[in-house]
Structure 1
Amino acid sequence: MNLLFVCTGNTCRSAMAEPLMRKRLDAAGLGDAVEVRSAGIAAYAGQPASKGAKQVLTNHGLDPDAHMATPLDDELVKWADLILTMSQSHKRAILERHFEALDKTFQLKEFVDDDPESLRILEEMGELQAEAQTKQALFMAEHADEIESLQQRYADSGGQDATIDDELAALQERLEASVQQEADQMMKLVAKLPDYDIADPYGGTQDTYDTTGQEIGVLLDKLVVRLKEEGVE
């Protein structure tokens, strides 16, 4: 299994989650079954973990200098079997570019939430997502000739036909309108869920980093239990 943690710069939250999770997997005998990586949606390649994150890792007996930030890219999204983000904004940013990753992208806190009411809401959201995906697939199939025609016109014009962009935008609007009902229902359900964001400690005191590290650690403990229950070996 390939597990990917994602935050903003890949120097704080996900930089702590990756080695902390790897340590837990080794202790649980799952180190060979799960490969763990981390990335940032706005990361600069090669940046070290932040000072506060390094101290958290040191306190857990981990090498604070082993981490180098990695920007999230298409290859990493395809590589991952499970993508766990630190906030809703990270999840949204991924799905805006990779809708195909919908079924494998969650917030960390969301993924391990075991509250019955939250689980009921998430299940209903999953059903809505499936309905939306089906509608979008049908829309694309029904408009396949139109899409092919636009692509051909674009190629014939060498990308110089300005009207094609307008027609593509109109097509996108129609696609979005086809699932507007599901989108509206989804927003109502999201409002009923607890806040799944893990606060960004960047720029905070060491106490702030320690608190975030502790929160992530508790969530990772629950994640290991869930992976074992799901038969990851």
Structure 2
Amino acid sequence: MNLLFVCTGNTCRSAMAEPLMRKRLAAAGLENEVEVRSAGIAAFAGQPASKGAKHVLTAQGLDGDAHMATPLDDELVRWADLILTMSQSHKRAILERHFDALEKTFQLKEFVDDDPESVKILDMMDELQAEAQTKQALFMAEHADELDSLQQRYADSGGQDPTVDAELAALQQRLEESVQAEAEKMMELASKLPDYDIADPYGSDLPVYEQTARELEIALDKLVVRLKEEL
């Protein structure tokens, strides 16, 4: 199994989550079953872990100096069997570019939430999401000829026909309207869920990093248990 943690710059939260998870996998005898990587949606390649993250990892007997930030790219998204983000904004950013990763992308704390009420709400949201995907697929099938025509007009004009953009925008709006009921219901359900975001400690003092690490460790302990049951 390929597991990918994602945050913003891949220097704090996901940079800590990756080695902390490896340590737990080794303790659980799963180090050969799960490969772990991390990345950032706005990372600069090769940037080291932040000072606070390094301190947390060193205190855990881990090598924080070994970390180098990795930007999230298409190849990493394809590589991952499970993508766990640190916040809702990270999850949203991934799915805006990689909608096909919908079924494998979650917030870390969302994925390990075992509260029965939360699980019930998440299951309902999954059902609504499936309904919305079906509606969108039907819409695209019904309007395939229209979309092909617009694409041909765009190519014939060398991208210089302003009416094509307007018609594409109108088509997109109609697509969104076709699943508006599901979207509104999902927003209503989401408002009943706990806050799954893990706060970004970047630029904060060491105690904030330590608090973030404790939050990560609680979630990672639950994650190991879940993976052990599923693998």
Coarse TM-score class (shorter-chain normalised): over 0.9
Give the aligned partner of residue 185 of structure 1. 185
Give the aligned partner of residue 61 of structure 2. 61
Give the aligned partner of residue 151 of structure 1. 151
Q: Return the offset for 1:204.
A: 1.1
Give the aligned partner of residue 90 of structure 2. 90
Task: Give the whole-Å Cα distance in 1 for the aligned partners of 2:159 and 2:30.
Answer: 51
Unaligned stretches of 5+ in structure 1? none
Task: Give the whole-Å Cα distance in 2 for the aligned partners of 1:34 and 1:161.
Answer: 50
Task: Give the whole-Å Cα distance in 2 for the aligned partners of 1:6 and 1:143.
Answer: 35
Q: Which string of whole-angstrom CA distances, capped at 9 and with x for unpartnered residues, describes residues 130-181 of structure 1?
A: 0000000001110111111111111111222121111111111011010000
Q: Which amino acid aligns with 1:208?
A: V
Q: Which amino acid aligns with 2:27?
A: A
TM-score under structure 1 normalisation?
A: 0.97
Give the aligned partner of residue 17 of structure 1. 17
The alignment yields a C-alpha RMSD, in angstroms, of: 0.8
Q: Which amino acid aligns with 1:124?
A: M
Task: Give the whole-Å Cα distance in 2 for the aligned partners of 1:35 and 1:168.
Answer: 41
Q: Return the offset for 1:98.
A: 1.4
Task: Give the whole-Å Cα distance in 2 for the aligned partners of 1:18 and 1:79.
Answer: 16
Structure 1 runs of 4+ with >3 Å offset: none
TM-score under structure 2 normalisation?
A: 0.98
Unaligned stretches of 5+ in structure 2? none
Q: Which amino acid aligns with 1:55?
A: H
Question: Is residue 2:223 matched to residue 1:223?
Answer: yes
Task: Give the whole-Å Cα distance in 1 for the aligned partners of 2:162 and 2:104.
Answer: 37
Q: Which string of whole-angstrom CA distances, capped at 9 and with x for unpartnered residues, describes residues 18-46 of structure 1?
A: 01111111111111111111111111111
Q: Which amino acid aligns with 2:137?
A: A
Give the aligned partner of residue 27 of structure 1. 27
Q: Which string of whole-angstrom CA distances, capped at 9 and with x for unpartnered residues, describes residues 77-110 of structure 1?
A: 1111111000111111111111111111110000
Q: Return the offset for 1:73.
A: 1.3
Q: Which amino acid aligns with 1:61?
A: G
Question: Is residue 2:197 matched to residue 1:197?
Answer: yes
Give the aligned partner of residue 78 of structure 1. 78
Work out the percentage of aligned pairs sharing the same amino acid: 81
Task: Give the whole-Å Cα distance in 2 for the aligned partners of 1:120 and 1:107.
Answer: 17
Q: Return the offset for 1:220.
A: 0.5
Give the aligned partner of residue 163 of structure 1. 163
Task: Give the whole-Å Cα distance in 1 for the aligned partners of 2:33 and 2:209.
Answer: 29
